[in-house]
Every structure is written in structure tokens, then in C-alpha cells.
Amino acid sequence: MIEKNISLKSSNTFGFDIQADLYAEIRDINTLLSIWKTNLLVQSSPLILGGGSNILFTDNYHGLVLRNSLLGKSVIQDAGDAVIVELAGGENWHQSVLWAIEQGFGGIENLSLIPGSVGAAPIQNIGAYGVELEQVFHQLHAFDFWEGKMVVLHHSECRFGYRDSLFKREGKGRYFITSVELKLHRNHVPNLSYGDIPKTLETMGIQNPGISDVSRAVIQIRQSKLPDPAVIGNCGSFFKNPVVPVSKYEELKVSYPEIRSFPVNTEVVKIPAAWLIESCNWKGFRRGDAGVHEKQALVLVNYGNAKGNEIRSLAFEIQESVNQRFGIELEMEVNIR
Ligand code: EPU
């Protein structure tokens, strides 16, 4: 059940060649219970890995890694238009999106091609092109390592925020997400609010887009900007887009009229971190095998043999220069271990 000194090179999308002292692949819930009954978790929580697409390892991992390999997709409630689907935590996120589209269920097509697993999706409250997971999230099932039993967590208990949830805060290390229930719709009206989507659909010659058209447009946009982790190691956006008071944004706009923003509410706006980083001349920067992607300044990349601490140092330097120039602190989205 538990293996020793296992390489995690193929289990993290930065492609760092590091090892876990202890490693177990979770294919059923009974295995979780057996692990909980050992004394391995007494001193520290396990590290739960899904697709490994949001983690930066700076060293070997001296603890227990649990890989979520639970599989299964099913419709558990069907009320005509609205359906509830249950997706096991180890399922690949993008394959699950394609499955939903095949069934004719809309709601997650804008989240096509996001790397990672279903179980990781609520942790990050993944989002893209105007949609966040919490908009379709119903509830989830998890093994609670503090209580040693299965629990159900409803939407409000998950405390979703922008790339944030209970699982990154008070619940960190506590839950192993075994499955996620989503509420999808057959008569779904596609969300085309994000500028790049209508533009792309137009170039594709599509007038009344359905969910599969939106998915294809999103795939096209992502492939044109974001590096494929199978080719160049990366974890998608490395930082969050900072949320700043409207007054701060107005102040910056005087010196930088080209600055863009996304509305949040009447008091704060989001500023594209990619723009801040690009303005500090980091876009396309490379030192050794660590770099800033040439088409998306928010994505840090490993061109081959970069070490985790080289990417981390680069991230610190970027944070520092953005802070010095704009007085804005960038918060990392990626987990550092
Ligand atoms: N921009 C630049 N330079 C760049 C790239 C973008 O100045 O190199 C500016 C442009 O003005 C552009 C704006 O930033 O209009 C926004 O860029 P983009 O649409 O690429 O989105 P983003 O804000 O950089 C966020 C998410 C992505 C998600 C996209 C699309 C975060 C941290 N990132 O990126 O999510 O795919 O929107 O919705 O919120 C991820 O979380 O890993 C991720 C990839």
C-alpha cells in the first residue's frame, strides 16, 4: 500500500525530478481508512496530489504523498433541465468537461483544458473565461483525516473565493476530496462574457454557439497563449490577479493610461498581474531553464532542468519589482513545498 522513495517527476507539471519519502496511490476509500489507522498521520498531514498542476517542489518531500486515483463519472439526479453529476476526485478535469459536453450538460465548457484533477478543482475554485467552479458546484464528498470518516461539504461550507477555498485555509491537509457533485443544465445558455470568446467564435465562423463550440473556442485560446505542460513545465498562472481599491487603480491610470482592469464591485477592481509583470519587462525572461513565458507573463516555466528554488527565486524577484514599481503585492497562486 505505501511505497518508499518514489519519484514525483511525472506527478508535477513543472516536471521537477524530486522524490517523496512515502507514497500511496488511492484507488478506493478503504485504503484511506487503512492509512488513517496507521500512525503515519499523527505528526503531519499527508500531501494530497491530484494532477500536480499547482505545486512547486523546492526539495524532496519528506512525508507521505497520497495520489488521488479515484475514478468514476455518473449522473446522480436528472430533473429534465437540471442534472447533478458526480465526478470522482482522481478523474482528469478536462476529460470530465468533455464528458459533460457529450452528455449535453452545460456549465463547465468555459473551464475546458484546465490541467489537473477533479479533486483539485474546488481547492483552487478553478476559473477561466468568466466562469468559476463555485457557480456550478453543488457539494463534495471527502475523507476527513481529523475525524477518520467520510463527510459531505455543501457549497457554503467550502468558503469559495477567487482561487481560494476552505481547503487552502482552515481545512488545509484535513480533507481528501473523493468526489465532487456539480449542477449542470441541458438548456444552458453559454457564458460569452469574456472578450476573447466572442472574438474567437467569430473567427471560427460560428454564430449561435452551443456548449461544444464554446469549449472549442476556449481550447483554441488556451492553446494559443498557454504552454502545454507536457511540452514545457508550468503551473498555469503563477500569481493571482491583485484586487485593489478603485482609487489605487485610478491613481495608476494617470501614469499608465493603458492599464486594464476587471470589475469586482464598486470598491475594488482586479488588475491583470500579467500586465504588471510585463510592464516590469519580465515577459520572455529566461535564466538557465527557469523563465517567464513569452506569450503569457503570468506563467513561469521550466524549460527542462530548472530546480524548484530557481523558479521560486524568480517569483520573488518578480514580486519585488512589481511592488517597487506599482506598490502592489502579488500573491502566489501556486503552492510551494
Ligand atoms: N496581459 C498582459 N500581458 C500578458 C498577458 C496578458 O498584459 O502577457 C493582459 C492583457 O491586457 C489581457 C489581460 O492581461 O487582456 C488578461 O489576460 P488573460 O485573458 O490571459 O487572463 P489572466 O488574467 O492573465 C486569468 C486566470 C487564468 C485564466 C484567464 C482567462 C488568474 C490568476 N488567472 O488570467 O487562469 O485562464 O484569466 O480567464 O486569475 C490559472 O489560474 O492557472 C489560469 C490560467
Residues of the chain with pLDDT under 50: none
pTM: 0.95
**Closest residue by CA, ligand 1 atom 26:** 128
Residue indicated by cell numbers 447533478:
84
Domains along the chain?
3-68 (3.30.43.10), 73-185 (3.30.465.10), 233-336 (3.90.78.10)
Please, what is the Cα angle at 52 between 106 and 45, to 5 degrees?
110
- Judge whether 333 counts as a catalytic residue: yes
Instruction: Using DSSP, state whether 215 is helix, strand or coil.
Output: helix
Determine the Cα–Cα distance for residues 115 and 228; give it in Å rounded to an integer: 9
pLDDT tens digits for range 86-126: 999 999 999 999 999 999 999 999 999 999 999 999 999 99
Question: In the prediction, which pLDDT does 195 show?
Answer: 85
249-295, pLDDT tens digit by residue?
999 999 999 999 998 999 999 999 999 999 999 999 999 999 999 99
- Is residue 163 among the annotated active site residues? yes
Residue nearest to atom 21 of ligand 1 (CA): 272
Outline where 81-157 has alpha helix (H): 93-103, 121-124
Task: Give the whole-angstrom CA distance, residue 91 versus residue 61.
Answer: 24
Average pLDDT, the chain: 96
Cβ of 227 less than 6 Å from ligand 1:
no
Q: What is the pLDDT of residues 314-323, one digit of tens each?
A: 999 999 999 9
